[in-house]
Amino acid sequence: MTISDRDLNRGGPARLPSATPPDAQMGRIIEMAFTGLWVIRRQGALAEVGGRLSWPDRASLERAAAEAGIPLSGDIIHTGRLNADHR
């Protein structure tokens, strides 16, 4: 599929069709080391699951995602310092 200049001049950003539907996209687990909270990022934003945006531990985050039918990536992002003992 190619995008021509005519397509780009129609106004608004050009969107290519996605291979997966939006609700089937994986969530990315993020450990926010400074606060100790765990969040899910999905489609570039924090995912709200059951009215929550954060969980106190990874296990509760994974349970909430499973109950909501959100597939999670196996990769985890850890934020914060590498050596948290020296604040």
Q: What is the mean pLDDT of residues 12-26?
A: 59
Q: What is the mean pLDDT of residues 3-32?
A: 66
pTM of the full predicted structure? 0.66
pLDDT tens column, 21-79: 555 689 999 999 889 999 999 999 999 999 999 999 999 999 999 999 999 999 999 99
Q: Does 15 map to a domain? A: no
B/e letters for 34-44, b = 16+ CB within 10 Å, e = fewer, are eeeebbbebee
Q: Does 16 map to a domain? A: no
pLDDT in the model for residue 25: 86
pLDDT in the model for residue 75: 92
Q: Does 84 map to a domain? A: no
Q: Does 4 map to a domain? A: no
Q: Does 53 map to a domain? A: yes
Tally of domains within the chain: 1
Range of the domain at 43: 23-79
Q: Does 65 map to a domain? A: yes
Please provide the distance, in angstroms rounded to a whole number, between the alpha carbons at the two ends of the chain: 52
Q: Does 72 map to a domain? A: yes
Q: Does 49 map to a domain? A: yes
